[in-house]
Structure 1
Amino acid sequence: MKVLITGGNGFLGKELRMQFQKNNYDVIATGLGKDRISYHNHIYLELDIQSPSKCLEVLQKHQPSIIINAAALTDVDRCQLNQSECLSINCDSLNNFIPYSIENRIHFIQISTDFVFNGKKGEYKENDFCDPVNYYGFSKLEAENKIIKSGVDYAIIRTSLLYNLTGNNFLTRFIKKIKENVELKIVDDQYRTPTYIFDLVSAILIIVKLKKNGIYHISSGESLSIFDIVCNFVKNMDSNTSLIKNISTKDLSQKAIRPINSSLLIDKAKKDFNFTPMNLNDVINRFL
């Protein structure tokens, strides 16, 4: 079975490529620039998802039965400052995939975000009201609405604060700075449900295999402050936690507002396909 994975050079995209390959899917990956995985056994193509003609060329040539759209502009402040670029990549580019997907009955998997919520209450369910507080969240919500209204066979996967112990992600960037004895100022009043990358990829594999439809929240389901997340890892790495200073959101000078508590409930995924993610301590105890 052929699966097309956009955003194939990204943190999530690279892991999706390798895990779908291991599960005997015929993988076609696309991304910007040269392939960032040195060794694999699948096709990689340079592709700007904003180009209608190039996207159609790839679709017609390779004829996937599944598309996983992991391509996105995720830099929240950049999205706020460059709104046209943000909307073009995160939403308008779907026009280059959805009509073909409808015509050819393709299962379309969209990776979305907890930032579609305003963060005023936390513990969000899939059917809770969406009210993003920044343009990144707005662009991803617009994408969700476009997909739902189109009639395509879809699954939308909202996730939160994706991490691994290797690769380029928020956690490894913090840990690198600690090892370099750089003082970190981290907010202690913003809450997320951190998501171990292998749990997310495993859930996507199941959703594809079972041909699930609708919206799913995929995360650890464990609401923690960003400060606590980083401190827990640093403590277990025998590193100097005194370099980590807690600050409040009001002390930041970010261009885009962040939701205070965008934690996601994962009851639907647990019920529908027995999703059992690792929480933060599980990951720490197993790998550190």
Structure 2
Amino acid sequence: MNRTILLTGGGGFVAGNIISQNRSRDIIEAVEQRAVPILSDNLTWHILDLQDSAQLRRLFHRVKPDVIIHTAAISDIDYCEAHQEIAESVNVGVTRTLVDLCVESNVRLIYFSSDSIFNGQKGRYVEEDIPEPLHFYGRTKVAGEKIVQQGCHDWVVIRPSLITGLPLLDSGNSFLWRLINELKQGKKAAFPKEEIRSPVDAVTLSRAVLELAENDFQGILHLAGNDTLTRFEIARQIVRKLGYSLDLVVDKEPQVTTSRAPRPRDVSLDNTKARKVLKTPMLDLGEALDLIIENKGDKEL
């Protein structure tokens, strides 16, 4: 019997890949603030503002989901720093409403957090490490995690590392797609050598999330690739894989301005737990890039 999944942030980068990887043909009820031009027999779009709790409740009771996958958030770190009230409303307030609904109807909740909840002093963070965010966005994700853990009966908190992949719905924030467009124009792309991540591709991430939608794992899970790399090294591997000149990737000098929120240096994640509890394999970056290319659809790389 197919499950019904309520997917928030439906028009975003991650959610678009989840929709694309829905091979088990679960019914997806996708929530977005604007119309998204993609149709499927197992996909229905619902245009609403998640901050409107009354509308969200009506939708929840109408579609009767078995699982909620909550990807929606304001994730622009500097925007969150400058607009803390709206960031709090979207990233924390909406999560609280969803938790209340899940408790009322005994629905499983998969909540997307972030690697940005850590201060970056340690690196290779495990699920048990204590969050110490450096910026307001990170604090909203920590608050969301606590609401989920303290309120839900059936929950998963996902902490993805830097996500590489393509925006299959032509929307959402994909640094890979921005990089490709710059490369096509022969422009140089600047990436910092001091920011360290453990990149995970959007295809693997989506498959892992859909696996979690149907299994009984409960807890926090780091979804990250097997490699620990600087963002500069990540960009060079991408450029090499796509056949462009490595000269197009240059070092980005650290930015220190009053309008820019601080960034943690090393928020690489340890994926040992994910490799133990999931059938979906976590990949090296080279393997991940091959998988992205295999699933690129009509994108020209």
Identity %: 26
Is the Cα–Cα contact under 8 Å of residues 226 and 283 in structure 2 kept in the other structure? no
State the 1:239 CA deviation: 1.6
- With over 3 angstroms needed to count, the CA separation of the structure-2 counterparts of 1:212 and 1:121, relative to structure 1, is same
Residue equivalent to 1:260: 265
- With over 3 angstroms needed to count, the CA separation of the structure-2 counterparts of 1:159 and 1:59, relative to structure 1, is same
State the 1:284 CA deviation: 3.9
- Structure 1 unaligned residues grouped into runs of 5+: none
CA–CA separation in structure 2 for the residues paired with 1:119 and 1:72: 22
Residue equivalent to 1:148: 149
Residue equivalent to 2:277: 272
- Of 9, 14, 17, which aligns to 2:16? 14
- With over 3 angstroms needed to count, the CA separation of the structure-2 counterparts of 1:284 and 1:24, relative to structure 1, is closer
State the 1:235 CA deviation: 2.0
- With over 3 angstroms needed to count, the CA separation of the structure-2 counterparts of 1:252 and 1:179, relative to structure 1, is farther
- Of 178, 182, 187, which aligns to 1:173? 178
Is 1:70 the counterpart of 2:75 in the alignment? Answer: no
Aligned partner letter, 2:252: I
Is 1:244 the counterpart of 2:244 in the alignment? Answer: no
- With over 3 angstroms needed to count, the CA separation of the structure-2 counterparts of 1:252 and 1:122, relative to structure 1, is farther
Aligned partner letter, 2:179: F
Is 1:202 the counterpart of 2:207 in the alignment? Answer: yes
Instruction: Determine helix, strand or coil for the equivalent of 2:62.
Output: helix
CA–CA separation in structure 2 for the residues paired with 1:237 and 1:269: 29
State the 1:182 CA deviation: 1.9
Is 1:128 the counterpart of 2:133 in the alignment? Answer: no
Residue equivalent to 1:111: 112
Residue equivalent to 2:191: 186
Q: Where do 1:90-109 residues align within 5 Å?
A: 90-109=91-110
Residue equivalent to 1:54: 55
State the 1:98 CA deviation: 1.4
State the 1:270 CA deviation: 1.3
Instruction: Determine helix, strand or coil for the equivalent of 1:155.
Output: strand
State the 1:41 CA deviation: 3.6
Normalised to the residue count of structure 1, the TM-score between the two structures is 0.93
Instruction: Determine helix, strand or coil for the equivalent of 2:113.
Output: strand
Is 1:225 the counterpart of 2:225 in the alignment? Answer: no
Structure 1 runs (4+) deviating above 4 angstroms are 165-168, 250-254
- Of 211, 217, 221, which aligns to 1:216? 221
State the 1:175 CA deviation: 2.0
CA–CA separation in structure 2 for the residues paired with 1:42 and 1:213: 26
Aligned partner letter, 2:109: F
State the 1:123 CA deviation: 0.1
**C-alpha deviations, 1:172-206, integer Å up to 9, x for none?**
20121122122222101100111111111111122
Normalised to the residue count of structure 2, the TM-score between the two structures is 0.90
CA–CA separation in structure 2 for the residues paired with 1:105 and 1:44: 23
Aligned partner letter, 1:281: G
CA–CA separation in structure 1 for the residues paired with 2:287 and 2:198: 14
- With over 3 angstroms needed to count, the CA separation of the structure-2 counterparts of 1:204 and 1:49, relative to structure 1, is same
